[in-house]
């Protein structure tokens, strides 16, 4: 009898332990079976169960789900590699990208999507976002308000939707120890913004845009965001025949002034960033490039309140290299953040491809090093998978190659700087200005009469070689 009682007790205890294990073990649910995991509000499963945490394995690794060049804790040129980059994942491309283009329907149907833009679906995407950046080993993420939460029928409903998703995001990012690099308001997709937002010809639209930015800035502040971005996708014109350009520019300046005032009112200490782009979707956008944006800020006395978010693909659309735009922003004291992507020279629109060119990455990192880094900005992957890339693991591979490319660029740039040959070549090219008269010119103390006198004394000047090929040889040797 005692033996039977003992067996019964043992079975009961085993059953209790089994039940406890079932309850205590977190629910796992592969993305391929996500519909059976219930509502996302309490869902704790994995979206990427077959993807491990991405680790550094070195240049000889053949594992596509590993870093070959990006070693986040490695110190290089006085900083940890992760601190040089401050990498961020763009929510809109990674979790809202569909593969659609001007000529074709969507090609991406991620397993966790249910075909709706509901609040439940928004929360599911947010959970996927934090699992993704945690496994990728990235510390930051970026968002548009309408990408993370559905638009409502009224401003109040839209704000309520945003609040609900942001509350979940705050919970998830605290748990994962992640941060917002920057937030922004999407002021270009809705039909109300067909004439622009801050530059709309309709006062009601201007006011609506202001209300939307107010809310987006507040939630960015709530999430601990370190920057806030303005991308004026439709702040420009299609034709000057029906446009009062001066009035629109004045309105945009008033809009930015109000944004600065609200930032200070709510105690948001983040940097305000303007993202230049020449055209698309408008024919001409008012923040055409870094120089145009710098001139706008100076004209309206805003240069102390804003910096620039330079996107490499936008730079090439404006007829410049990314390096040119970064240097223009840097020497004007306006380099704040970089949207890391590139375009295709054979395609005429903003393709937002992941950066894979080591040469371009090295030039980018030369500017970043000269700038002393980007903090509180960073590198945001405003880049999307190609239309033909449709596997879930492609999301990881694309970011890995982008991070590795910039890491190789950093290593090459540091090699160039430490070698010193390129800097010495540049110094020698301008050495005639390192004289007493050169110093007078640079100090603004040499007038034309004085310089005319010196020319008569010296005669025809000798002009030295620029040594461009040698500069290119030195540069290539570091790659």
**What's the rounded Cα separation, in Å, for the pair 225 and 145?**
13
**What's the rounded Cα separation, in Å, for the pair 198 and 234?**
9
**What's the rounded Cα separation, in Å, for the pair 467 and 426?**
9
- Tell which residue, 358, 362, 366, 347, has the closest CA to residue 401: 358
Residues recognised as catalytic: 144
Q: Are 378 and 87 in contact (CB under 8 A)?
A: yes
**What's the rounded Cα separation, in Å, for the pair 280 and 274?**
16
- For the chain, helix (H) and strand (E) counts, in that order, are 17, 14
- Tell which residue, 64, 151, 117, has the closest CA to residue 396: 64
Query: 227 pairs with which residues across the strands?
Result: 271
436's tokens = 């007493």
CA separation (Å) from 319 to 263, 279, 316, 333, 340?
Answer: 33, 11, 5, 22, 17
441-459 burial, b if ≥16 CB within 10 A, otherwise e? eeeeeeeeeeeeeeeeeee
């Amino acid at each position: 009898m005692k033996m039977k009682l003992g067996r019964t007790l043992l079975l009961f205890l085993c059953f209790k332990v089994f039940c406890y294990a079932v309850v205590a073990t977190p629910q796992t649910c592969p993305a391929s079976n996500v519909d059976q995991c219930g509502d996302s509000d309490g869902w704790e499963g994995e979206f990427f169960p077959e993807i491990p945490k991405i680790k550094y394995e070195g240049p000889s690794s053949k594992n596509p789900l590993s870093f070959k060049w990006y070693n986040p804790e490695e110190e290089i040129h006085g900083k940890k590699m992760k601190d040089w980059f401050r990498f961020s994942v763009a929510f809109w491309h990674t979790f809202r990208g569909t593969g659609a283009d001007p000529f074709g329907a969507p090609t991406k149907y991620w397993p966790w999507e249910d075909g709706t833009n509901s609040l439940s679906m928004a929360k599911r995407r947010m959970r996927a976002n934090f699992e993704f950046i945690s496994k990728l080993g990235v510390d930051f993420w970026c968002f548009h308000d309408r990408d993370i939460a559905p638009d409502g029928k009224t401003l109040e409903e839209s704000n309520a939707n945003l609040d609900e998703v942001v509350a979940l995001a705050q919970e998830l990012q605290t748990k994962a120890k992640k941060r917002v690099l920057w937030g922004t308001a999407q002021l270009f997709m809705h039909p109300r913004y067909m004439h622009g937002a801050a530059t709309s010809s309709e006062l009601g639209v201007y006011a609506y845009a202001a209300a939307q930015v107010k809310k987006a800035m507040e939630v960015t502040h709530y999430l601990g965001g370190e920057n806030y971005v303005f991308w004026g996708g439709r702040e420009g014109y299609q034709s000057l025949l029906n446009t009062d350009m001066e009035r629109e520019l004045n309105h945009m300046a008033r809009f930015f002034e109000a944004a600065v005032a609200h930032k200070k009112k709510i105690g948001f200490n983040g940097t305000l960033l303007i993202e230049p782009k020449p055209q698309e979707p408008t024919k001409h956008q008012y923040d055409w490039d870094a120089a145009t944006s710098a001139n706008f800020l100076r004209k309206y006395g805003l240069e102390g309140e804003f910096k620039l978010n330079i996107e490499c693909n936008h730079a090439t659309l404006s007829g410049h290299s990314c390096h040119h735009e970064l240097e223009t922003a840097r020497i004007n004291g306006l380099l704040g953040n970089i949207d890391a992507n590139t375009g295709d020279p054979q395609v005429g629109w903003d393709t937002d491809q992941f950066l894979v060119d080591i040469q371009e990455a090295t030039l980018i990192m030369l500017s970043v090093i000269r700038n002393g880094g980007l903090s509180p900005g960073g590198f945001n992957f405003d880049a999307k998978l190609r239309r033909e890339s449709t596997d879930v693991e492609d999301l990881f591979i694309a970011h890995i190659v982008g991070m590795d490319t910039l890491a190789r660029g950093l290593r090459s740039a540091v090699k160039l700087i430490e070698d010193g040959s390129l800097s010495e070549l540049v110094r020698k090219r301008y050495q005639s200005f390192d004289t007493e008269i050169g110093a007078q010119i640079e100090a603004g103390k040499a007038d034309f009469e004085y310089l005319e006198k010196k020319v008569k004394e010296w005669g025809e000047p000798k002009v030295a070689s620029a040594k461009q090929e040698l500069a290119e040889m030195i540069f290539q040797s570091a790659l």
